[in-house]
Amino acid sequence: MFNDVLYSTVVTASDGKLLGARVADDGQWRFPPCDSVPEKFAKALIEYEDRSFYSHFGVSMRGIGRALIQNISNGRVVSGGSTISMQTIRLHRRGPRNLLEKIVEIFMATRLESRYSKDEILKMYVSHAPFGGNVVGIDAAVWRYLGNDGNDMSWAEAATLAVLQNAPATIHLSKNRDKLQAKRNRLLKRLYEEGEISEIEYELSIEEPLIGQPFPMPSVAPHLVEHYHNKRHGQRTLTGILYLLQKRVEEVATSWRRELALYGIRDLAVVVADVKSGAVIAYCGNADMETDREGKWVDIARSPRSSGSILKPLLYCAAMQEGIILDNTILPDVPTDFGGFAPKNFDGSFSGIVSANQSLALSLNVPNVYLLKKLGVAHFASMLQKCGLSTLSRPAHEYGLSLVLGGAEVSLLEVVNCYAKISRFDSQFPLNDSVAIYSMFDAMREVNRPDQLDYSRVSDIQNIAWKTGTSYGARDGWAIGVTPGYVVGVWVGNADGSGVADLTGARTAGPVMFDIFNLLPPSGWFSVPEGDETSVCQYSGHKAGKYCKETVVRKVPKNASKSQPCPYCQEIPVSLDGKRRVIDCSEPMEMKSYFILPLLQKHFFKQQHADYIEPPVDENSSDNIKFIYPYDGAVISIPESQGNVMICKATDAEPTATLFWHLDNNFIEATTDIHQIQIKPRPGAHRLTVIDNADSETSIEILVK
């Protein structure tokens, strides 16, 4: 029955509390059929409409007879004698009210009784009965007239609603209120006389003011309600939202959005997921809906936005799972040109080498790009798609190595869901190696980032694995936090895509994320996973090789066997005084193990590690010189504001070497100690050459625009 009726979209929290609703397509507030009827309302309705409801077979001959006598004595129709079952048929048929239709209703009511239980019939009736205006059904009525779910309604409210649905066109809340109150009080007296309510309840009820003007429907998680209105139009949807948490998250998000608006940041979104169930328990598609502003109805939580750095942990986990790295394998952190793509770290500095876990904790760009190149852009993009990031729909080559630095668009909701699934250590999920996942979260716990302000209070909140990110052009600020219990994701920025000077995820989204975690119960830390152990080089973080003198035993992922043995620890022949590398095998010598870094990596590493022990230099090597800047093949634009001057830097394996600089075979100058010069090249192609005093030589080609 009622298959052709148009219903409102109704969205509820996990406990059934109404988050919001949308009017049905015919303009009526008509909720989908209810699962239960408020007890007080059910008793009041049956007393008022059909006292013998639970005893008759669909038709009450006594009721029809009584109605016939009343109509004759009054000279007009004052009662129809219809049972609730007959009225249900009338609501279903929506036919004319005449004698023939009444006969049809009598016949069909008996059939209705044979097919459905009394409680089912009662639910059908109260779900489709009119309550005045554009309100249909008890579920919509309690929200419009009582402003709540009706479970705690008073006897006076129950009686009012019971008599209201009887003749809503003539007696309702804005017209004939005296008559409505009189009918309510008569019904209350009958309930008292029948023993349904006590004398004190009766006396208090008749003194209770009549309910007033309709309330607006609730508007909690409005973007989520709108989503289900579009996706499950005219249906009732039970979500995983925790009602009280949702309200508090909206309060925190609104407060932060108003503060950030002072700096030109107008929009903010928050998603909170429960790790164990995977349910989204709080959803704020865009905060502060009360403020009148453009873009507030944009559901940012589902909108594709540049990812910034929030994919770096997933890259680390994937590379470790594939056996490309172990948790602290060192990665290059030097100026590098990846075929025209020359990433920079946030603060512009380089450390020469950095362990993979520190690279993640520090959110360094260069080492992560290097790691992505090792893993493969296509492989990483495919894995992200399998992890549920559906917005990565372009071919992998279009993302390139910028994929891990914000070159792809992701949605906050999908990122939160992805991290929640990883946090469950689900063996069916694409990222599933428990050692790799634990190492990722452990690295994300490190609170030591160059782009942060003051996070000294972080350790006082909870033990949280977290990552922030900022997109190119300061358009998107991200923060993702993970515990064994919850994942919190925050996005800040402007819905129209406009950037804001000095916007960073750490300074804007990060504090919001930590305030949201303050609303959640602590959930400890992840259990240390079981796994194989192996000997690892203490210097390089690679599997220990035969020349690694200092090692440590660490847990490793399942694919650790694919990991490269340490290539940095090498045994070389040196003179007996240890000052020279021996080339002539007839010379007295000894074999000695050294941790040997490539020249450019050593140059930056030594600036922060004066204790680095260098091996003796091979004076006959032709590979002693490295350019720091510019890169080979670089295309350079020199602003006139700099006087068309560019700075060139190089390094030599021999700290005391003298370098001789040439531009297009023309000598420029010689440098010692600090190898840096200024040149003023004309537009066009140039060859820059450097020769040291041991006759080592290297050249690069550059193009000046």
Whether 49 is a known active-site residue: answer yes
The rounded distance, in Å, linking the Cα atoms of 247 and 230 is: 23
Q: Which of 8, 47, 49, 351 is catalytic?
A: 49
Q: Which of 60, 205, 303, 309 is catalytic?
A: 309
Q: How is residue 209 annotated by DSSP?
A: P
The rounded distance, in Å, linking the Cα atoms of 328 and 354 is: 8
What residue type is assigned to position 350 of the chain? F
Find all residues with CB under 8 Å of 443, minimum gap 6, and list them: 313, 316, 327, 356, 357, 358, 360, 361
Contact 306, 315 (CB under 8 A): no
The rounded distance, in Å, linking the Cα atoms of 430 and 586 is: 57
By CB atoms closer than 10 A (0-12, 13-18, 19+), residue 258 is middle
Give the other-Cβ count within 10 Å of 658's Cβ.
Answer: 15
The rounded distance, in Å, linking the Cα atoms of 208 and 358 is: 68
The rounded distance, in Å, linking the Cα atoms of 442 and 456 is: 18
Strand partners, 78: none
Whether 309 is a known active-site residue: answer yes
Contact 690, 659 (CB under 8 A): yes
Contact 674, 652 (CB under 8 A): no
* DSSP of 125-176: HHHH-B-STTEESHHHHIIIIISS-STT--HHHHHHHHHHTTSTTTSBTTB-
Strand partners, 354: 331
Report how many helices (DSSP H) and strands (DSSP E) the chain contains, helices first.
20, 26
65: which 2 tokens?
């007879």
Give the N- to C-terminal CA distance of the chain in Å, as an integer.
76
* DSSP of 399-427: HGGGGGGT-SEE-HHHHHHHHHHHHTT-T
The rounded distance, in Å, linking the Cα atoms of 259 and 253 is: 10
10: which 2 tokens?
């109704």
CA distances from 529 to 275, 326, 555 (A): 17, 15, 9
The rounded distance, in Å, linking the Cα atoms of 272 and 479 is: 12
Q: How is residue 292 annotated by DSSP?
A: -
CA distances from 666 to 577, 644, 651, 683, 687 (A): 41, 19, 20, 17, 10
Q: Catalogue the active-site residues.
A: 49, 309
